[in-house]
Amino acid sequence: MLSHPELGRLAVAHLDCDAFYASVEKRDRPELRDLPVIVGGGVRGVVTTCCYIARIFGVRSAMPMFKARRLCPGAVIMKPDFAKYRVESRRIMAKLRALTPLVQPLSLDEAWLDLSGTERLHGAVPAAILARLQAEIEAEIGITVSVGLAPNKFLAKIASDLDKPRALR
């Protein structure tokens, strides 16, 4: 965890699952762990998400599938299983709501949290609470998340995008 003089006073967080759909697929199929995985629609569709290995080849979300296949010909391409992703999203969001009622989901795999005033309840500053949450999600759900902590939602979102995966900034 990074150290910062204001770290103990920051309470607005943005949590973003790392390559959520691809991470869930890799968790469920361990043989894919070291392979580039792209989740998306057929030949004329788009990339919904891809793992970090596929990103090394230049594949990105919302990219046309024909371009992704060209950039990463060895990728394992999977159709999205939104029912499965919704189940995992509900598990993660329940963990967030256990920390604070002030959770604002943005999508299946990301949300803002306001942890103001929760230090006494949880016995730690928000940064420590979020570090524990990160570890808990990885241990219990089997995927990694990145977290940004800041004085406002805009900066928290930017912070969560830095140093992915497993970022805590």
CA angle 165, 18, 152 (to 5 degrees): 85
Cα 69 to Cα 12, 56, 65: the distances in Å are: 39, 13, 6
Pairing of strands 76-78, 37-40: parallel
Nearest in space to 65 (alpha carbons), one of 39, 85, 47, 84: 47
Name the CA dihedral angle for 157, 162, 167, 169, rounded to a multiple of 10 degrees: -70
Burial label, 111 (beta-carbon count in 10 A; 0-12, 13-18, 19+): buried
Distance CA 169, CA 158 (A): 9
Distance CA 94, CA 77 (A): 30
Active site residues: 110
